[in-house]
Structure 1
């Protein structure tokens, strides 16, 4: 949203009165026409007002950033939607059926959302490359293929945001399956290394080597994370010259996924406290952005009504 607002600030400036590069000998009030047409300011330099095209770059790049971010999120969701993970299930109304496999549920909406970023990327390249090598003159070279891809990027981005906002609330999240995989995997081993640094005062390099050796032993034994033996861990520590010992309860507490999340209580972290704060801040920001949008939209409506009234 900040990028879009920045683009708006650069775009919503009036070129009216610049004429063909050099303004005019007629006594015009450019600021008056700027106000009645709903612009925020004038493009003061007349040459820039007529020949400059860089403001279009800001607009299309803001759009591309939007669809690119959504595309990346969707890529993760598509992975989580695979049978091998089964973390989520896409709503039926946003899925398609296979032409040959009756059991298959294709995440069609995800596929469109992910590919749309490439579409807008093509538009973006078209926009930013159009003025390249074109002189600063009132000629068509820099405009003929500049605005068409921009309008297309606006249309695609609008559709992407709308579709994504409709798909997301309907996703079914299998939190039990996620927790099961987290418990079985080795994703919380960094906490074990951190714990040894904090409690047993060894260096992180030493803790890193101990945990790596412990995981290697566990993999050879085909043990999952929730099946790890404290005896194996203590033996690894003893073999590498460390005398401290942990018990099974301590190991389980350190590797517990939920506790792992809540230990990260710094700004931007994964603890429940930080997540609640971020959600609250995002809700406030969303309301602020909505107010900004409504103010701009209503202003343009008032401008349009005033212009028609003048007729």
Structure 2
């Protein structure tokens, strides 16, 4: 292939060690398809603006269609990046007098920024789809377990009784916010920097709006210096993905704990478990453990991106080349983890009897007993808190006589004299009755959880429709690009 980049200003060629150090080809496989799209849109715009001839445009586009068909494997990987490798391949196909015109009014700086945004917006759309699938899995499992009792925890200590549905909806709601963050980041990713050239735009009469339209972007990054040098869209995306992985890691931690012999709340499907090479009885939650570990990949990628981008002067600096592989590593890890978690949740077996038995262990109904004292006897909550705190030193199953004995010491009178009854205490200590009283919005009462599930199912459908609309708009734009390119090849106006 032609050495189109170094034959002018530079007189020597880097050795293999230097090329390995400076090359981005390993990460550039992510943006091969995007690079072809950018080249097509730029070439069409150059022809429409009268910057290149129609027959040259036709020949270039034919070459680009062939390069796209042949795939990235047909490119020379000895070049420092995919952009030069692709352009060199084009020149080999159509000749430099034609192929050498494609780069008019353009730099690799605006080219790579555009390619990254095209690929990243596709990844973010797919991530949104996968997040909705995970949330649907959580909601479906919640719908199956509206009345499945379990202990709720604070500090990993038994706190109050709740239901598995209530617990799962908490994770679903956190992931709902993550989905919104992805959508919000997408709106800033989907902006075109193409036409900014190296950083000071160009003297060629480019139509930036035309390439923006052909590539399906939602608008322009207007300032040409900002367009080529900013990587805040990568940082924002990595931050969103780090947050998703933190939420998934929390879920994975619970899966690991809940599947232990000590808890025995759930059992993972065999496909998400492994066994020991020496202990044949073992069923290890390896997939969940790995998910905890892989959260470090996303967090590390974010930290790397922040470190690379801090303190860089405007405009483009080669340091930014190292930002790209870290972005792709974060994307790949996060999307894979979301898909795996979806399967784990959908297929796990719930040991409802064990959960129910543990729902009152550790005097989890203590708060409701204190609340009952407040309602029935009219005492301050802090006083009730003290009485129940003393009772908690016992077996966690106090009678009215026990309550009166403690209240006599603290208040100088028994609470039975103030209207508290044995039936009220029994009801407060019953986890089912306990939960049924918690009808406040967002609480675990079955009717409230049923309402929440229905509302979240409706929200999911709305979000799925919005995501499909975004996908359709981008696909429609790119299909239009191919039609326009094919018309140019065939000489149609």
Give me the TM-score of the superposition, normalised by structure 1.
Answer: 0.93
Choose from 284, 298, 304 the match for 2:472: 298
Q: 2:243 and 2:391 mapped to 1: Cα distance?
A: 42
Match of 2:491? none
Q: 1:289 and 1:242 mapped to 2: Cα distance?
A: 58
Match of 1:307? 481
User: Aligned pair 1:235/2:405, yes or no?
Assistant: yes
Tell me by how many angstroms 1:96 deviates: 0.4
Task: Identify the range of structure 1 (242-251 vs 163-172) with the bigger mean alpha-carbon deviation.
Answer: 242-251
User: Aligned pair 1:144/2:314, yes or no?
Assistant: no
Match of 1:179? 356
Q: How many residues align?
A: 303
Q: 1:298 and 1:188 mapped to 2: Cα distance?
A: 52
Q: Which of these two proteins has the greater Rg computed from alpha carbons?
A: 2
User: Aligned pair 1:101/2:279, yes or no?
Assistant: yes
Tell me by how many angstroms 1:248 deviates: 3.1
Tell me by how many angstroms 1:303 deviates: 2.3
Tell me by how many angstroms 1:198 deviates: 1.8
Q: Could you list the per-position Cα deviations for residues 47-106 of structure 1 after superposition, in whole angstroms to 9, with x for gaps in the alignment?
A: 211111111111111111111101101211211111111111111121100122211110
Match of 1:209? 386
Q: Runs (4+) of structure 1 moved beyond 6 Å?
A: none
Q: 1:286 and 1:46 mapped to 2: Cα distance?
A: 38
Superposed, which structure 2 residues align to 1:227-306 within 5 Å?
227-240=397-410, 241-245=412-416, 246-306=420-480
Superposed, which structure 2 residues align to 1:45-64 within 5 Å?
45-64=223-242
User: Aligned pair 1:23/2:201, yes or no?
Assistant: yes
Q: Could you list the per-position Cα deviations for residues 193-231 of structure 1 after superposition, in whole angstroms to 9, with x for gaps in the alignment?
A: 111112211111101100000111x1xxxx3x4x43332
Q: 2:234 and 2:256 mapped to 1: Cα distance?
A: 33
Match of 1:199? 376
User: Aligned pair 1:33/2:220, yes or no?
Assistant: no
Choose from 118, 121, 127 the match for 2:296: 118
Task: Identify the range of structure 1 (57-66 vs 295-304) with the bigger mean alpha-carbon deviation.
Answer: 295-304
> Does the aligned pair in 1 maintain the 2:372–2:425 contact within 8 Å?
no
Tell me which of the two structures has the higher relative contact order, counting C-alpha pairs closer than 8 angstroms and 6 or more residues apart: 2
Q: Could you list the per-position Cα deviations for residues 108-159 of structure 1 after superposition, in whole angstroms to 9, with x for gaps in the alignment?
A: 1111221111111111111122111111122212x12111011111111111
Choose from 165, 169, 172 the match for 2:342: 165
Task: Identify the range of structure 1 (227-236 vs 57-66) with the bigger mean alpha-carbon deviation.
Answer: 227-236
Task: Give the unaligned 5+ runs of structure 1.
Answer: none
User: What SS does the corresponding residue of 1:101 show, helix, strand or coil?
Assistant: coil
User: Aligned pair 1:79/2:253, yes or no?
Assistant: no
Task: Identify the range of structure 1 (148-157 vs 96-105) with the bigger mean alpha-carbon deviation.
Answer: 96-105
Q: 1:247 and 1:184 mapped to 2: Cα distance?
A: 23
Q: 1:263 and 1:4 mapped to 2: Cα distance?
A: 36
Q: 2:327 and 2:448 mapped to 1: Cα distance?
A: 39
Tell me by how many angstroms 1:15 deviates: 0.5
Q: Could you list the per-position Cα deviations for residues 269-288 of structure 1 after superposition, in whole angstroms to 9, with x for gaps in the alignment?
A: 11112211221121122212
Q: 2:252 and 2:376 mapped to 1: Cα distance?
A: 40
Task: Give the unaligned 5+ runs of structure 2.
Answer: 1-178, 486-493
Q: Could you list the per-position Cα deviations for residues 252-281 of structure 1 after superposition, in whole angstroms to 9, with x for gaps in the alignment?
A: 101211222221111111111221122112
Q: 1:8 and 1:270 mapped to 2: Cα distance?
A: 34
Superposed, which structure 2 residues align to 1:1-16 within 5 Å?
1-16=179-194
Q: 2:250 and 2:258 mapped to 1: Cα distance?
A: 13
